[in-house]
Amino acid sequence: MDEEKPRRKFHPVYLLLALPFIADLWPPFYNRISPELFGIPFFYWWQTLWIVLAALCILPAYLNEVRRGK
Amino acid sequence: MSAHPVTLVVFFALFAGVALLGLLGSRWRAADLSQLAEWGLGGRRFGTVITWFLMGGDLYTAYTFIAVPALMFGAGATGFFAIPYATLMYPLLFLFFPRLWSVARRHGYVTAADFVRGRFGNRPLALAVALTGIVATMPYIALQLMGMQVVIAALGLNYTMALPLLGSVSLPLIGAFIVLAAYTYNSGLRGTALVAVVKDMLVYVTVLAAIIIIPSELGGYDKVFASVDPKLLILAHGTANNLGPGFAYVSLCIGSTLALFMYPHAVTGLLSASSRHVVKRNSMILPAYSVALALVALLGYMAIATGVKAMPAYAAGFASFGNNFAVPALFLHMFPAWFVGVAFAAIAIGALVPASMMAIACGNLFSRNIYKDFINPACTPAEESRAAKLTSLAVKLGALIFVLELQSTYAIQLQLLGGIWICQTVPAVMLALYVRLNPWGLLAGWAAGMTAGTYMAWTLGFKGSTYPLHLFGLTIPCYAALSALVLNLLIAGVVSVVASALSVVSADQTVAEDYR
């Protein structure tokens, strides 16, 4: 683990926070109807799914900060 | 158009109950409400759960129930930008705002302008941030008034009367305004926090009923999507020399995301948390609201599927309020009378609570950063608190004027207009949590961004917010908040470089350790 590293050092766990931005800010990828899920076009379920995934992307960074007592 | 008597009884019983709770709320964990930190920040001691309810008020407003579904109803996929907006705000909340909480606690800041003054030691910049916060909040409150107006009208109380100076005014609007003003003036943030809990319960019941009952009666989500014009179901594609709706979509999302936590009421919500960990935990649990927002947005498509727009019973409502009438019409059509009362009460209270938080936050901002700093530095705490209460009233009057003057097809334009302005404080507030530019550079950037943003909104008649930029033979449809912010940052950066070359320095009250 990285407890010995200096406090200001960038931890790779923060890279996860970039994922929601990549997933949500490139419409050429998700601006389509298929594959549908329960009759819901891809455009809609993909972006809705990422609400939950984004929260999960924050969790490791949060746990990391709690562990370091920040 | 006249609602069932049962609907009226249920609506008014719930609404009166909640209003009463708000008034009692001022006695909750009793405190001296003539002190600003007590009236306006609830004493800075809300835990994770209360903060979740309070901050949820920023997302669950008339924006959710009226404005976003109306845009989906009329314009299709474009309206769904609210969902990535309500997603991406949380990584930003996590990265930036625990720092704001910490530095605010260390130095006793209550508003964003307090922080700017401490960080930059520059009074004009703090004044610019305070004024922008107040002006930008008015159209956002206007959206709430409009939401309340639409449901009151949908109850069958759609009358107008002639007033001196204002001309013909809708009674539902005046009713909405009076309820909001009386409610806020009396209870402050304590009352609002208590009501926020009840409000969210009502809202969740309504959302669950709507997303389960309505699609099943319509024959499932596939039937709902099948009823939407295929051209509107996804974004139209751009061309070789026009980046098209996809770019506009992304710019609306980014601009709205950056704007949200700059609003004075969002800062109030954050700073009333009892610790920075409350803020962090909320960045993971607040998305629960966003999931519901996504489902509520689809009510716009359900309204298309039921064909309410063509029904004579709702013709008057659509004539008065355009697409903003889609959700009330859908509920009237699909729900039993008593539950229409519950749902309409949820929408009206869901507009009332955030509007009241917004007005309170503007009051804080004015009394601390304008009244105390520039008008009456020797004021007593009681005078400061009174200035806050009077400002919150004035801001609501300003919002009323926005509703009357900007009767737009889409209520969401009011919120997007506020976003154009508030976004211009991002470099001096949000960015300043990590990077400190020169305050005169920030002021120059702010002035440029405000001018450009207002100009773009003005050329769109204040009824649109996506301004087509023409660069290098390319048409770029971009949310004016974002393009103005880019200009703002460019000017701020250039002027900061020049200012540091000329050794124009200013005092920073904060140190790196304050932000942790």
pLDDT in tens, B264-277: 988 988 888 888 99
CA distances from B433 to B126, B418, B437, B508, B510 (A): 15, 22, 11, 12, 10
Residue type, B432: A
d(CA A36, CA B23): 49
Nearest to A52 among B80, B84, B287 (CB): B287
CA distances from B468 to B201, B457, B477, B481, B486 (A): 42, 11, 4, 12, 15
| B280 with A21: Cβ contact below 8 A | no
What secondary structure letter does DSSP report for B84? H
| Domain segments of chain A as ranges | 17-67
| A39 with B220: Cβ contact below 8 A | yes
For the beta carbon of residue B263, count every other beta carbon within 10 angstroms.
24
Between B41 and B111, the more confident residue is B111
- Min CA distance, B222 vs chain A (Å)? 4
Assembly ipTM: 0.89
Decide if B233 contacts B301 (C-beta within 8 A). no
Model confidence at A1, pLDDT cuts 50, 70, 90, reads very low
Query: Within 13 A of B9's CA, how many CA atoms are on the CB side?
Result: 5
Model confidence at A3, pLDDT cuts 50, 70, 90, reads very low
- Min CA distance, A70 vs chain B (Å)? 7
Model confidence at B30, pLDDT cuts 50, 70, 90, reads low
Model confidence at A6, pLDDT cuts 50, 70, 90, reads very low
Q: What is the largest CA-CA distance in chain A?
A: 51
- Over residues B132-136, the mean pLDDT reads 95
| B277 with A36: Cβ contact below 8 A | no
Enumerate domains of chain B plus CATH numbers.
5-422 (1.20.1730.10)
Using a CB–CB cut-off of 8 Å, the residues of A that contact B are 17, 20-21, 24-25, 27-28, 31-33, 36, 38-41, 43-44, 47-48, 50-52, 54-55, 57-59, 61-62, 65-66, 70
- pLDDT of B97-113, one tens digit each? 999 999 998 998 889 99
Q: b/e for A29-43, b at 16 or more Cβ within 10 A?
A: ebbeeeebeeebbbb
| A40 with B516: Cβ contact below 8 A | no
Decide if B271 contacts B89 (C-beta within 8 A). no
Nearest to A48 among B83, B281, B284 (CB): B83
Closest CA to B89 of A27, A22, A55, A42: A55
Residue type, B391: T
- Min CA distance, B111 vs chain A (Å)? 24
HEC string for B147-202: HHHHHHHHCCCCCEEEECCCEEEEHHHHHHHHHHHHHHHHHHHHHHHHHHHHHHHH
Contact residues, chain A, for B77 at CB < 8 Å: 31, 43
| Tokens standing for residue A64 | 């990391």
Query: Within 13 A of B120's CA, how many CA atoms are on the CB side?
Result: 31
Per-chain mean pLDDT for chain B = 87
Contact residues, chain A, for B83 at CB < 8 Å: 47-48, 51
Closest CA to B251 of B88, B380, B136, B429: B88
| B90 with A33: Cβ contact below 8 A | no
| A51 with B287: Cβ contact below 8 A | yes
Contact residues, chain A, for B283 at CB < 8 Å: 55, 58, 62
Q: Give yes or no for residue B205 having a pLDDT over 50.
A: yes
As beta bridge partners, residue B168 has B162
d(CA B502, CA B483): 29
| Nearest residue of chain B to residue A16 (CA atoms) | B91
Q: Residue B316 burial by CB count (10 A; 0-12/13-18/19+): exposed, middle or buried?
A: middle
A vs B, Cβ pairs < 8 A, gives 101
As beta bridge partners, residue B424 has none
| B285 with A55: Cβ contact below 8 A | yes
- Min CA distance, B300 vs chain A (Å)? 13
Q: Give yes or no for residue B60 having a pLDDT over 80.
A: no
Q: What sign does the dihedral B239-B480-B292-B227 (CA atoms) show?
A: negative
| A62 with B94: Cβ contact below 8 A | yes
Contact residues, chain A, for B290 at CB < 8 Å: 51
Model confidence at B44, pLDDT cuts 50, 70, 90, reads low
